[in-house]
């Protein structure tokens, strides 16, 4: 068993992290005291962006918190939030913290039966819902949710005795604060470092989701540890679109409380490009799919004629400057002149679409293909990777944007330790690790062993102290020839070379070779159809066309060229539509349920092995 703490931090860093505030509320109020009138949040309202100062955020949070207390919320009572990413999500979560409660996160695309399970299992007493649709999910399941006493609807309000509106909660809170000005302060005083702060239900790629118990100390640790990285300052502007029901999104919210940067909040995925241009952030975090889509879209827009030649030349220059820049230097001589021309002709336009001020992106929640990371860097935009799990409060490792190590997720956060087991499994210990699964002692005991979290991921620590992830332990494929294949590597290779692919599911356990099921990106496919006089053809029909199969076949062959012989995809099928939450093929956080997909398409997969 190999071990490393891989820490690049000084003893002073560890001491500062250890001196962190005891609760999320304390960390938030410390930032309010330091930054008061400065802008904390920016959010869309109609066709304009509206600002909220730290002082105003506190005022909103305290009114909402008092409103929750007036409804009977007691310390550590759970309050659900079923909404997309928006300013009200942030304020509702803050209110729960300030009222001494604990937030239960619910993805807005979660099916009604699973919403009922999460609320029932968590024992949630109240829930914030985004709109009529989210509220009806709860009302339709009320018989199974006797503990839910009140639903607070953000937009609109369904007429029901258990439903109140957002403004009504604010009004009730203001009234209670007028009578008892210290009511929220008294509630916050009842919270300690080990008080429950959040119940986040894992996506559940197999079986029912499990509630991960994260206490205040876990989140304040994350804020303090990320601050020691020095990757952002109070003058930075974050663009936050990630689902706040996900631990990655929640982390970014808490880190802001410690560092004090401004966050523009807008979870509308179809508005990201517009939002980046309007807000002009300095950094943004996202899942790999967003970076894959940006790259694919730009590549498709410059795939022919003179534009393609200029584009190819510019990226060739970018590739030659990349090792120089990674070494902390700048190109000189002819390469310097070429780099300036490439930037003016191509890269500056790409950067402007991202707002023009981005210093770096952070990719997390799944592995990012090397080719995608390198493409962005060739264009002068840095994408660093981080690694963590819901069970570790998200960020356990984060690469340093000032000294990036491509192909790794960086060193462990200060105060976190990592060990690699004999079979390659990554084991983690530190303050960010969960206190256990909610009401599941056996599952907790299996995952937390002698103070170490068994992550289920395979990887190793390199010579620089950075972690390299291979794949999920349970996802590793062993072919009938005895060869092990990491599906994430194979799937990433296909997505990296093919701008038309949305999802890839590699298959081959105990089979003689690797096969794959592939879904296509609707936007990219529509563009191709328009260019080939097939604009009126439905997407499911397009996916069955011989010329589409030939198109994808070429890209699969290119991907195979980057893989070992036993990893290559010998046969594949194109599915008529993307895998969906509704069909039980992906989780609410859009992770593929590999076993569910293999079961549903068992007959199709079997046909790929017919002699």
Residue 478 phi, psi dihedral angles, 5° rounding: -115, 115
Cβ neighbours for 101, distance < 8 A, ≥ 6 positions apart: 68, 73, 74, 75, 76, 77, 78, 79
- For position 202, what pLDDT does the model report? 87
Q: Check: CB of residue 374 under 8 Å from CB of residue 383.
A: no
Cβ neighbours for 109, distance < 8 A, ≥ 6 positions apart: 581, 588
The per-residue pLDDT for range 321-357, each reduced to its tens digit, is 999 999 999 999 999 999 999 999 999 999 999 999 9
Q: Is the pLDDT of residue 270 over 90?
A: no
The proportion of the chain whose per-residue pLDDT surpasses 70, expressed as a percent, equals 97
460 and 480 co-located in one domain: no
466 and 487 co-located in one domain: no
Q: Is the pLDDT of residue 588 over 90?
A: no
The per-residue pLDDT for range 371-403, each reduced to its tens digit, is 899 999 999 999 999 999 999 999 899 999 988
Residue 420 phi, psi dihedral angles, 5° rounding: -110, 120
- For position 5, what pLDDT does the model report? 43
Which residue among 265, 300, 331 closes a domain?
265
136 and 163 co-located in one domain: yes
CATH number at residue 511: 3.30.300.30
- For position 367, what pLDDT does the model report? 81
- Which pLDDT band holds residue 576 (cuts at 50, 70, 90)? very high
257 and 323 co-located in one domain: no
324 and 446 co-located in one domain: yes
- Which pLDDT band holds residue 589 (cuts at 50, 70, 90)? confident
CATH number at residue 168: 3.40.50.12780
In which domain, by residue range, is 317 found? 288-473
Please give the angle made by the CA atoms of 421, 422 and 428, to the nearest 5 degrees: 5
587 and 463 co-located in one domain: no
Residue 34 phi, psi dihedral angles, 5° rounding: -80, -35
Q: Flag whether 282 is in a domain.
A: no
pLDDT (mean) for 456-472: 91
Domain total in the chain: 3
pLDDT (mean) for 150-157: 96
Q: Flag whether 567 is in a domain.
A: yes
- Which pLDDT band holds residue 602 (cuts at 50, 70, 90)? very high
pLDDT (mean) for 195-218: 88
The pLDDT mean for the chain works out to 93
- Which pLDDT band holds residue 611 (cuts at 50, 70, 90)? low
- For position 472, what pLDDT does the model report? 82
- For position 1, what pLDDT does the model report? 39
- Which pLDDT band holds residue 592 (cuts at 50, 70, 90)? confident
The per-residue pLDDT for range 538-568, each reduced to its tens digit, is 998 999 999 999 999 999 999 999 999 999 9
- For position 208, what pLDDT does the model report? 81
Q: Flag whether 207 is in a domain.
A: no
532 and 593 co-located in one domain: yes
- For position 251, what pLDDT does the model report? 94
- Which pLDDT band holds residue 368 (cuts at 50, 70, 90)? confident
Q: Is the pLDDT of residue 4 over 50?
A: no
pLDDT (mean) for 449-456: 95
Q: Is the pLDDT of residue 597 over 70?
A: yes
421 and 552 co-located in one domain: no
177 and 323 co-located in one domain: no
- Which pLDDT band holds residue 84 (cuts at 50, 70, 90)? very high
361 and 491 co-located in one domain: no
Q: Flag whether 563 is in a domain.
A: yes
Cβ neighbours for 394, distance < 8 A, ≥ 6 positions apart: 222, 247, 248, 250, 251, 364, 388, 432
424 and 313 co-located in one domain: yes
424 and 492 co-located in one domain: no
Which residue among 439, 473, 507 closes a domain?
473
- For position 9, what pLDDT does the model report? 60
Q: Flag whether 589 is in a domain.
A: yes
Closest CA to 40 of 32, 48, 208: 32
- For position 7, what pLDDT does the model report? 47
What CA dihedral angle connects 377, 381, 387 and 389, to 10 degrees? -140
Cβ neighbours for 339, distance < 8 A, ≥ 6 positions apart: 317, 318, 321, 331
Polymer length of the chain: 611
The per-residue pLDDT for range 65-79, each reduced to its tens digit, is 999 999 999 999 999
The per-residue pLDDT for range 9-18, each reduced to its tens digit, is 666 889 999 9
- For position 10, what pLDDT does the model report? 60
Q: Flag whether 389 is in a domain.
A: yes
Q: Flag whether 535 is in a domain.
A: yes
Give CA–CA dist 425/456, Å, rounded.
Answer: 6
- For position 250, what pLDDT does the model report? 92
Which residue among 203, 230, 265 closes a domain?
265
Q: Flag whether 384 is in a domain.
A: yes
């Amino acid at each position: 068993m190999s071990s490393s703490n891989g820490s690049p931090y000084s003893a002073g860093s560890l001491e500062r992290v250890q001196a962190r505030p005891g609760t999320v509320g304390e960390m938030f109020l410390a930032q309010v005291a330091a930054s008061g009138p400065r802008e904390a949040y920016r959010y869309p309202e109609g066709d304009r962006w509206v600002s909220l100062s730290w002082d105003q955020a506190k005022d909103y949070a305290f009114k909402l918190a008092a409103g929750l207390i007036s409804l009977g919320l007691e310390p550590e009572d759970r309050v659900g939030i079923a909404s997309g990413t928006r300013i009200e999500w942030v304020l509702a979560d803050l209110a729960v913290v300030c009222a001494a409660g604990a937030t239960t996160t619910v993805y807005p695309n979660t099916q009604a039966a699973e919403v009922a399970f999460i609320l029932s299992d968590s024992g949630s007493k109240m829930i914030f819902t985004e709109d009529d649709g989210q509220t009806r999910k709860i009302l339709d399941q009320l018989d199974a949710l006797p503990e839910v006493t009140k639903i607070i609807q953000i937009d609109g309000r369904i007429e029901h005795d258990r439903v109140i509106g957002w403004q009504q909660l604010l009004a009730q809170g203001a009234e209670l604060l007028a009578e008892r000005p210290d009511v929220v302060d008294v509630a916050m005083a009842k919270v300690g470092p080990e008080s429950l702060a959040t119940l986040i239900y894992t996506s559940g790629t197999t079986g029912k989701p499990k509630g991960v118990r994260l206490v205040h100390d876990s989140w304040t640790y994350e804020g303090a540890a990320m601050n020691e990285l020095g990757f952002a300052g109070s003058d930075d502007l974050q663009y936050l679109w990630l689902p706040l029901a996900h631990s990655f999104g929640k982390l970014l919210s808490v880190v802001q409380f410690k560092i004090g940067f401004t966050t523009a909040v807008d979870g509308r995925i179809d508005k990201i490009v517009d939002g980046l241009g309007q807000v002009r952030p300095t950094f943004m975090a996202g899942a790999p799919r967003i970076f894959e889509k940006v790259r694919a879209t730009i590549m498709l827009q410059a795939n022919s004629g003179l534009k393609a030649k200029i584009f190819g030349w510019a990226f060739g220059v970018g590739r030659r400057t990349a090792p120089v820049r990674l070494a902390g230097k700048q190109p000189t001589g002819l390469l310097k002149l070429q780099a300036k021309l490439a930037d003016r002709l191509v890269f500056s336009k790409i950067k402007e679409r991202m707002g023009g001020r981005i210093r770096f992106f952070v990719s997390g929640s799944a592995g990012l293909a090397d080719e995608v990371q390198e493409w962005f860097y060739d264009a002068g935009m840095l994408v660093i990777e981080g690694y963590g799990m819901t069970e570790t409060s998200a960020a356990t490792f984060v690469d340093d944007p000032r000294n990036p190590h491509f192909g790794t997720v960086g060193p462990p956060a200060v105060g976190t330790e990592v060990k690699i087991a004999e079979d390659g499994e990554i084991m983690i210990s530190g303050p960010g690790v969960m206190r256990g699964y909610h009401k599941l002692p056996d599952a907790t005991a299996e995952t937390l062993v002698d103070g170490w979290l068994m992550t289920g991921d395979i990887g190793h620590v390199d010579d620089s102290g950075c972690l390299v992830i291979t794949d999920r332990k349970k996802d590793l494929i062993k072919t009938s020839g005895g060869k092990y294949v990491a599906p994430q590597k194979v799937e990433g290779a296909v997505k990296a070379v093919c701008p038309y692919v949305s999802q890839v599911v590699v298959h081959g356990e105990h089979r003689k070779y690797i096969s794959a099921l592939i879904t296509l990106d609707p936007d990219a496919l529509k563009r191709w159809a328009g260019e080939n006089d097939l604009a009126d053809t439905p997407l499911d029909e397009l996916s069955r066309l011989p010329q589409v199969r030939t198109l994808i076949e070429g890209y699969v062959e290119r991907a195979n060229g980057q893989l070992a012989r036993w990893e290559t995809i010998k046969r594949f099928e194109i599915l008529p539509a993307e895998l969906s939450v509704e069909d039980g093929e992906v989780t609410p956080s859009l992770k593929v349920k590999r076993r569910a997909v293999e079961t549903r398409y068992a007959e199709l997969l079997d046909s790929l092995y017919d002699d």
